[in-house]
Structure 1
Amino acid sequence: MNVILVPGLWLDASSWDDIIPALRAAGHTTRALTLPGVGAPGSDSAQIGIADWVDAVVSEIDKIDGPVVLVGHSGGGNVVWAAAEARAQRVARVIFVDTVPPPDGAQISEFEVVDGVVPFPGWDFFDDDDVADLDAETRARTTTTARSVPGRVPTDPLSLAGTDRYGVPVTVLSGGMDDATFREVITQWGPYAEEFAAIADTEVVRLGTGHWPQFSKPAELTEALLNAIR
């Protein structure tokens, strides 16, 4: 299977380095992306928005013969879901890594913009549950590889015109919630609940990790991805 790996905010293609070898050993072809404007100064990335990130994934799909699986971590989930809408007939499955399918108009989140970009805020910025399984060595190592993102991207509303995406099978790899808990909790999330309910084929798998399993538990994440890619 052709697997396109899309990172979340502040991450580039290298964030998948601990995952890719096992995927390739299992016979899959992997393409890890660095999205437009990541690491670029504000003067060069001021015009880049979420639509440009979606277009980058769609362009990658168009380069490939045959079906693809899209994997999106965190904010990358917004990107792959819009790409799935654009190329639903080409996408065999969308896998969300500790995030959920977003509804039309959703934003990733709001962060401080400095000189036209959103710099990595540091691991101490995040909730304890999200970073509890990142040890000091991992935090130090990954901080050096974190990159700024274009200032517009986190708050740009996502455009999801159409309904083709609802026919694409979805796997949610949740850090902390099992299938039953996730389905109960998401009913309280308004438009996100409606979006999830509209998808014809969904499954939820609990990873038992924080928000960055590609760093904290790469073996567990890899196993879950291999189980989901089919």
Structure 2
Amino acid sequence: MTQFVLVAGAWLGSWAWDEVVSDLRAAGQGAHALTLSGLAEKRRDEPVGQQTHVQDIVGAVERLDLRDVVLVGHSYSGIPVGQAAERIGDRLARVVFVDSNVPADGESFVSAWPDGRAAVEASIAEHGGFWAPLTAEEYAGQGLTDEQISRIVAGATPHPGATLTEPARLERPLGALPATYIKCLLDWPEPSPDVAELLKNEHWRLVELNTGHWPMFSEPHELARILLNATMNP
């Protein structure tokens, strides 16, 4: 049995994966959605760093004694998921990046996003060390219904700022990991340059999904199907 460990992006908790988890379990696979420290039901006022998020993922895999693990990271969470993937050793079957950032040794989330760095850092400074969630209007054009947008906005919590500014730590090239990158076309039709470079590796596969940046809400059943196919056709 494949064990999927799913981690949502900024502002979101395990609840974001509810429909995807249901489909994966219905297909006879294990599915474990995680909430990272400082978010959703784990929200707290003290600072949380990026390495805490990496350890959240590694710790869950080890605590549950999971094998044949597919780590799934969406958006921001591709950064801690990519680091966790190399730290769980032979427990890893594959890592799947869902329209996500990918870690680069010594680089942070904001350094990999130069056009948005100033806005993110300003939000962190203005909101006491947290990145404020998006407004409903900012989800427009992403293939989401009004009901889905309302659900995201209602469940979102401020994201710990230090996780976005601290550098990633990689011990070996990310391209050596078996990986699938899911590109959501409504958000931007082409992979970022760093992802495009990684996709040149023989271990990496690209899958395109004709929806926006939050496919666990807009296309949960198709996303689950892609995740299942990634394990059957690595």
Which TM-score bucket, shorter chain as reference?
0.7 to 0.9
TM-score, with structure 2 as normaliser: 0.83
Residue 58 (str. 1) matches residue 58 (str. 2): yes
Q: Where does 1:8-157 land on structure 2 (aligned, <5 Å)? A: 8-39=9-40, 40-41=43-44, 44-46=45-47, 48-63=48-63, 64-109=65-110, 110=117, 111=120, 112-113=123-124, 114-125=127-138, 131-157=141-167
Q: Aligned letter for 1:147?
A: T
* 1:88–1:101 distance in 2 versus 1, CA, 3 Å: farther
Unaligned runs of 5+ in 1: none
Contact 1:98–1:174 (CA under 8 A) maintained in structure 2:
yes
Instruction: Give the Cα–Cα distance (whole angstroms) in 1 for the partners of residues 90 and 154 of structure 2.
Output: 38
Matched, 1:176 2:178: no
- Take 2:78 and 2:136, find their aligned partners in 1: how far apart are those partners? 20
Identify the match of residue 158 of structure 1 among 159, 165, 168: 168
Give the aligned partner of residue 218 of structure 2: 216
Deviation at 1:193, TM superposition (A): 5.0
| Cα separation, 2, equivalents of 1:147 and 1:132 | 20
Corresponding residue pairs, total: 214
The one-letter code of the counterpart of 1:139 is I
Displacement after TM superposition at 1:75 (Å): 0.8
Partner of 2:228: 226
Distance 1:116 1:192 in 2: 29
Give the superposition deviation at 1:37: 1.0
3-state SS of paired residue (1:27): coil
TM-score (norm 1): 0.84
Consecutive unaligned residues of structure 2, counting only runs of 5 or more, are 111-116
Tell me how large the CA RMSD over aligned residues is.
2.1
User: SS at the partner of 1:9?
Assistant: coil
Percent identical: 34
Cα shift readout 1:50-91 (whole Å, capped 9, x = no counterpart): 110001111112122422110000111111100012123221
- 1:92–1:168 contact (8 Å) kept in structure 2: no
